[in-house]
Amino acid sequence: MIKLVRVDHRLVHGQVAVSWFNSLDVNTIFVVNDDVAKDDFRKSAIRLAKPDNSKLVMKSVDDSIKAINSGVTDKYKILIVVESVADAFKLIEGTKSKIKSLNLGGTKPRPGTKNYSKTINLTSEEADQLSKLEDSGVDVWIQQVPSDDRQKFNK
């Protein structure tokens, strides 16, 4: 069961490994990112940040879509973390309505981005992707940590 899908450019760090992991009562952190899936150094760094009592899975976006659609992930309580809006968009579009909610936790400022909150900076293309997700019924919201108030995303 997917408990949360979160966009966070830092992937697994204190807020994810402690705050979100504990508040959601999950047992698995699923990092979905093409670059991480093929980078042994990044995988090693992420393994160091995960909680001891968690399962950690790291897959490419396409392999993650296949795993979710096959049902093999259904037996776990999962926190999915993606590095970008593009990864989230592709994952949600590819999993055929299995993901109904998207948390925006952190996207760093980059050239051409607009600031939406203290931790969310989006290009117009990313904002359009999020709007498309909202239009399809996905609840898109901004919340850095569980104790913060949820802020509805709308372009």
% of the chain exceeding 70 in pLDDT = 99
Q: What is the pLDDT of residues 91-117, one digit of tens each?
A: 999 998 899 999 999 999 999 999 999
Q: 71: domain CATH number?
A: 3.40.35.10
Q: Is 141 left (phi over 0), alpha (psi -120 to 50) or beta?
A: beta
Q: Which domain holds residue 138?
A: 2-152
C-alpha dist (Å) from residue 127 to 18, 30, 103, 133: 28, 24, 14, 10
Q: What is the pLDDT of residues 55-90, one digit of tens each?
A: 999 999 999 999 999 999 999 999 999 999 999 999
- pLDDT for residue 17: 75
- pLDDT for residue 15: 72
Q: Give me the chain's average pLDDT, please.
A: 94
Count of domains forming the chain: 1
